[in-house]
Structure 1
Amino acid sequence: MQIEVRGEPLGVGVCHCLACQRRTGSVFAALAAFPVPYSVSGTAMDYVRAGDQGARFRFRFCPVCGTNLFHTEEGVEQNSVAVAVGGFADPNFPAPQDSVYDCRRHSWVQLPAGITVYDKDPI
Structure 2
Amino acid sequence: MDETRTNRGAWRRSPILPRAMAAPRAPTMSAGPAWAEDRPEERRVPEQMAASGGSDYAPGFDLSPGDDVVEVAGAKVRMGGCLCGAVRYEVHGEPMMVGLCHCEDCRKATGGNALYYADWPVSAVRMEGALATYSGRSFCPDCGSRVAHFSAHHTEVMLGTLDDPPTDLVPRREIWTVRREPWALPIPGAEQFDRDPV
Q: TM-score, normalised by structure 2?
A: 0.53
Residue segments in structure 2 that go unaligned for 5+ positions in a row: 1-86
Which protein shows a greater Rg?
2
Q: How far does residue 2 in structure 1 lie from its aligned partner after superposition?
A: 1.8
| CA RMSD after TM alignment | 1.2
Aligned residue among 84, 95, 105 for 2:180: 105
**Residue 129 of structure 2 is aligned to residue 42 of structure 1:** yes
Q: Counterparts of 1:14-53 in structure 2 under 5 Å? A: 14-37=100-123, 38-48=125-135
Q: Choose between structure 1 and 2: higher strand proportion.
A: 1
Which residue does 2:140 correspond to in 1?
Answer: 62
Residue segments in structure 1 that go unaligned for 5+ positions in a row: 49-57
Q: Considering Cα pairs closer than 8 Å and 6+ residues apart, tell me whether 1 or 2 has the greater RCO.
A: 1
Q: How far does residue 36 in structure 1 lie from its aligned partner after superposition?
A: 1.8
Per the alignment, in what secondary structure is the counterpart of residue 5 of structure 1?
Answer: strand
Identity %: 32
Which residue does 1:83 correspond to in 2?
Answer: 157
Which residue does 2:75 correspond to in 1?
Answer: none
Which residue does 1:11 correspond to in 2?
Answer: 97
Per the alignment, in what secondary structure is the counterpart of residue 39 of structure 1?
Answer: strand
- 1:15–1:28 Cα contact (<8 Å) kept: yes
Q: TM-score, normalised by structure 1?
A: 0.84
